[in-house]
Amino acid sequence: VHSSFDKELARFFRQVGDGRPKYHMVKWADICLPKERGGLGIPASRRMNVALMLRWVWRILRGD
């Protein structure tokens, strides 16, 4: 699921207005980097999912 979501997101950012694909000048992994490290700050879905699940685990353990 994560792969297909990231694939569609990358396709959205990497096409011209009429839907034609354009040349990839930067790797998708580099685009997903934080802005401080030269990326666009777009979160990768797998990392975001793990972060949100850990947040829920933390809340459960704290009794929130």
Which pLDDT tens digit goes with each residue over 13-37? 777 677 676 777 778 888 888 899 9
Whole-angstrom Cα distance, residue 16 to residue 37?
26
DSSP run (H or E) holding 31: helix 28-31
Q: What is the DSSP letter of 42?
A: P
Q: Which domain holds residue 51?
A: 1-62
- The total domain count for the chain is 1
Distance CA 42, CA 57 (A): 24
**38 exposed, middle or buried (CB, 10 Å; 0-12, 13-18, 19+)?**
exposed
What average pLDDT is seen over the chain?
A: 82
Q: Identify which has the larger pLDDT, 50 or 31.
A: 50
How many residues can be counted in the chain?
64
The DSSP symbol for 15 reads B
Q: What pTM, to 2 d.p., does this model score? A: 0.52
Q: What is the pLDDT of residue 32?
A: 83
Structure confidence at residue 15 (pLDDT): 72
